[in-house]
Structure 1
Amino acid sequence: MVNKIMIAEYHSLPVRAGQVFKAGNEEIVLFRLTNGEVRAIENHSPHPKGGTLAEGLVSGEYVFCPVYDWKISLVDGKVQAPDQGQVKVFPIEVSEDHVYFML
């Protein structure tokens, strides 16, 4: 059985900007895309020196690390070539005006 935790109201999420939430020990950033979809990834750059992705620039289904300019997919968490790495992607559900984190 899948448990859901309501973490945000859809209408309150800024478009193309990150909003940070805590879920257990995880710091998660939600991004509301221009097409209306919401994506959730960990709020930590995979670069060895780190950085937070919530402050990154969003373009389409990608976020650019604000410190190292790595292009990261909001769909699968993969860093785009020529860079390498991966961030965690979290399952969410949007229902009416609520965004749920899936456990």
Structure 2
Amino acid sequence: MTIIEKPWISVGRIEDIPPLGARRIETGFATIGLFRTASDEVFAIEDKCPHKGGPLSQGIVHDGCVTCPLHNMVISLKSGQAQGADTGEVRTFRLRLSGGEIQLSGEDLAAAANAAAVPA
């Protein structure tokens, strides 16, 4: 069984991410940012700003969003959509918390792997 055939993949614990902070996960086909809000919600999105590819996990987490560290584009952590006058979006990944453990959707990871395998 490969990693993306499992329904949920453990990727760390909530305490591994400081409040209003982020961590990166390298999968081989995508880099994913895990973000923790002040109210301990955790979100997983592609760690690549749609504007210039900046590392969103190095941005500022606020109000359910992250601001790209390169050009201040604001991305919703829930929808992956750019906010305000900006346009663009990033892939989101479903996750769940189980006893403080962060688990990503294997189905979403498989979809991202399949998308990465398709030639542009």
Normalised by the size of structure 1, how large is the TM-score?
0.92
Deviation digits for residues 43-84 of structure 1 (CA, Å, limit 9, x no counterpart): 00000x321101101111010011010111001000012110
Q: SS state of the match for residue 54, structure 1?
A: helix
1:38 aligns with 2:42: yes
Aligned ranges 1:8-19 → 2 under 5 Å: 8-19=12-23
Rounded to whole Å, the distance in 2 between the matches of 1:101 and 1:24 is 15
User: How many Å apart are 1:24 and its aligned residue?
Assistant: 4.2
Deviation digits for residues 18-57 of structure 1 (CA, Å, limit 9, x no counterpart): 100123411101011111110000000000x321101101
When the two chains are superposed, the root-mean-square deviation of aligned CA atoms in Å is 1.4
Higher strand share: 1
Aligned ranges 1:1-103 → 2 under 5 Å: 3-47=7-51, 49-103=52-106
Rounded to whole Å, the distance in 1 between the matches of 2:15 and 2:68 is 25
Bigger-Rg structure (1/2): 2
Greater displacement, 18-27 / 68-77: 18-27
Higher helix share: 2
Q: How many residues align?
A: 102
Q: SS state of the match for residue 75, structure 1?
A: coil
Gaps of 5+ in 1: none
The one-letter code matched in structure 1 to 2:67 is: F
Q: SS state of the match for residue 99, structure 1?
A: strand
After TM superposition, the runs of 4+ consecutive aligned structure 1 residues lying more than 2 A away are none
Gaps of 5+ in 2: 107-120
The one-letter code matched in structure 1 to 2:35 is: F
